[in-house]
Amino acid sequence: MTHDDYTPSLPEELRSLAAGFPVTITFPVQWGEMDYYRHVNNVAYFRYFENARAAYFRAVGWPEIEARTGIGPILASAECRFRVALTYPDLVSVAIRVVPPLQQDRFLMECRILSHKLLALAAEAKGIIVAYHYADQRKASLPSELCARISQLEAWAAPP
């Protein structure tokens, strides 16, 4: 079972924490993500964020845009604020959004990990995504089609 295959609804108590985040994925915590101290290892949180970014990029069709332009995403920086420790068993939902404004070659994404068992915010993260032309190995401008799709998904009044 992949993370994308398991998408139960978000508990009512967590919905306000995911409000304003247009993409949310839900999946079970895996036993193997636990560490010696009996909680989910911090590395797993960054995998959760990565899965949410991938879901967001699929939602805006970035893989198709990349196939035409050669411009894809690359993570320039990431930070995380851990709020409560996750443990097995649990279900987690990861909510993700882009924070305006979009810059010429980058944007900021915010994520929240929500614990179904604890009915709580487990972690918050921020990451800067840079448009990158992989064949040329250089930064690139964000494709205008991508900017329009992000604006539409985020329900912004007009593309920034």
Question: pLDDT per residue over 108-155, tens digit each?
Answer: 999 999 999 999 999 999 999 999 999 999 999 999 999 999 999 999
Q: What local confidence, expressed as pLDDT, does residue 120 receive?
A: 98
Per-residue model confidence as pLDDT tens digits over 15-52: 999 999 999 999 999 999 999 999 999 999 999 999 99
CB 44 within 8 A of CB 33: yes
Domain range list for the chain: 3-152
- What tokens does 44 get? 């797993």
Residues 6+ apart with CB under 8 A from 160: 100, 101, 102, 147, 151
H/E stretch holding 18 reads helix 15-18
DSSP string, 47-74: HHHHHHHHHHHHHTTHHHHHHHH-EEEE
Which tens digits make up the pLDDT trace of 42-68? 999 999 999 999 999 999 999 999 999
Integer angstrom CA distances of residue 101 from 31, 126, 155, 156, 159 = 39, 15, 13, 10, 9
| Both tokens assigned to 92 | 């987690």
Indicate the pLDDT class of residue 157, thresholds 50, 70 and 90. Answer: low
pLDDT tens-digit readout, 99-110: 999 999 999 999
Query: The whole model's pTM is what?
Result: 0.92
DSSP 33: G
CATH fold of 3-152, please? Answer: Thiol Ester Dehydrase; Chain A (3.10.129)
pLDDT given for residue 9 in this prediction: 85
Q: What pLDDT score was predicted for residue 19?
A: 95
